[in-house]
Structures are given as structure tokens and as C-alpha cells.
């Protein structure tokens, strides 16, 4: 069984899509192991987005990710990382395949289509472990 971190981004929260998106995850058979709403801080964002923090567009990402709290989840299922990434679609909502969450709900506005894309998902098993530990303590994750 794999676990992944999901962050439902401010656009998901602002559009009142949190329940809709979580329902899709549950319908896909993913088990929710942790769930909380949090306001992201500058330090946490710089750590999470360290791979892009030096790019000129990073301040826009940081500002967007602090517009509202985000909903952080740990989900579990066999092969969840690949399945989740297929379910969400590619990062750019304009290029996401029909039927994916990002194609259906993400921004179609040029310039926002890569950032306002409903959710962040871990891109690998190792990344998931690091990201889950960044957002959740061990006692916040439930295995039942």
C-alpha cells in the first residue's frame, strides 16, 4: 500500500469543491488516513517549494497558496501515486485530459492554469514520505 500527500489548493477551497474532490478520491477507493485544514506559512511554503523558490514566479505561487487555508490529506491505496496523478491530470489545466479533475475544475485562464489547478499530489514514493512528514505528525495519521 502506498500513501500520498494531497493539498487541496486555495482555488479548490474558494470554488467550494473540497467535498466534490474528496468524494472522487473515496469513489476511487482511496482511504483517507489524515485530513486537516491549515494556513500555510512562508517558511512551510519555501520548504515545500524549495525546487522552485529561486524562480521569478515563486512569489506569485507563495501569495496564491496563502489566499485561503488549504486542505491537506494523506490518502492510501495500492499504486495510489500513479493513479492519483492520472486522476488529477497534468499540471497545466489547459493540457489536462478530459475527465480529469484539473481539466474539469482548474483555471482556464492563461498564466493561472499551472498554479490554480485544484490540488498538489506527491510525484513519487520518496517524495510522498517527505511531504507527509512535512505536513503531518505520526500521531495525526491513522491506519485502521
Any idea which residues carry the catalytic annotation? 120
For helices 80-88 and 18-27, the axis angle rounded to 10 degrees is 130
Question: CA–CA separation, 127 vs 136, rounded Å?
Answer: 14
**Helix/strand/coil percentages in the chain, nearest 5:** 40, 20, 40
Question: CA–CA separation, 56 vs 110, rounded Å?
Answer: 17
Beta strands in the chain (DSSP E): 2-8, 31-38, 70-77, 119-121
**Please, what's the largest Cα pairwise distance for the chain?**
44
Amino acid at each position: 500500500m502506498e500513501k500520498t500527500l494531497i493539498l487541496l489548493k486555495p482555488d479548490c477551497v474558494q470554488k467550494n469543491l473540497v467535498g466534490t474532490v474528496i468524494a472522487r478520491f473515496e469513489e476511487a477507493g482511496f482511504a483517507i488516513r489524515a485530513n486537516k485544514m491549515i494556513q500555510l506559512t512562508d517558511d512551510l511554503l519555501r520548504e515545500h517549494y524549495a525546487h522552485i523558490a529561486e524562480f521569478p514566479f515563486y512569489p506569485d505561487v507563495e501569495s496564491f497558496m496563502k489566499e485561503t487555508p488549504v486542505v491537506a490529506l494523506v490518502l492510501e491505496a495500492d499504486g495510489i501515486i500513479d493513479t492519483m496523478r492520472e486522476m488529477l491530470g497534468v499540471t497545466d489545466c489547459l493540457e489536462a485530459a478530459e475527465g480529469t479533475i484539473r481539466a474539469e475544475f482548474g483555471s482556464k485562464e492563461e498564466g493561472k492554469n499551472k498554479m490554480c489547478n485544484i490540488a498538489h499530489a506527491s510525484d513519487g514514493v520518496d517524495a510522498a514520505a517527505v511531504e507527509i512528514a512535512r505536513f503531518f505528525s505520526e500521531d495525526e495519521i491513522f491506519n485502521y
